Structure 1
């Protein structure tokens, strides 16, 4: 005798998973609303996006005309005034931004989302070039940096003997 589909344990597990996913998403959306209110009090909210692990993050900027920071906050946690990930850059001139540092936890998808927003933001500011340096202190993770910048269509020039390099991107 075949059990009806409603009593099938596999479907019951699937139903529980759907309910669990829905409740988690609902909680992230609620948290996102609260976080957006707090972030918008001090910074320019650029948008929201999902990481490759499907976490919702808020992307926001601080820009005083000299230093530009594109920051991300994961909506799995309340916003307590600190970013989860940040790309720090400065304006070399009106049409050129140089990345000074990328800070935050790796392999979470934050970097790719922040880079996408940095490119969009700089183009809106009529900036035509994003550049950066790879220095000796980056050398222990240079392969990851090269992969990251290639993925985002940067031109990369590495000097292994000097343990240095340059990156640049133009639209």
Structure 2
């Protein structure tokens, strides 16, 4: 009798290649994977198409405007020479950060004022950058926090509203 019960249990477990639970889990995983992929494609694909059309229109506007306007667009960025700063580390090991960034003035006429006060801006950035720890630079949110802090410090030196954005070109941790 016992052999008959074991044979029934084995037969029911191996009745198909996959059990019902495994089929349900696989179907749910496939649904989530396809749904997530489709949603990501819709979000990324839709915004890329809209940006593409906007960039084409902007390029056409610049082509019609002439060369005088494109030269002023180039002057709107203040390139800051790369900075190398040592980081604070808990283990006492030598850690460094190399940072190359550009400042975007609120208007083109404010770019010259930023260039003149650039040493003061760099002096304001030094203590902040030296207090960073290697853990503070982990993840994509770290770059956002660094940009925001640099923007606040530039505003403290130059006055609020003088710098519109900080564009980080290189951020290398060693």
Give TM class, smaller chain.
0.3 to 0.5
TM-score (norm. length: structure 2) = 0.32
- More RCO (CA 8 Å, sep 6+): 2
- TM-score normalised by structure 1 residue count: 0.32
The structure whose residues are more often strand, as a share, is: 1
- Higher Cα radius of gyration: 2
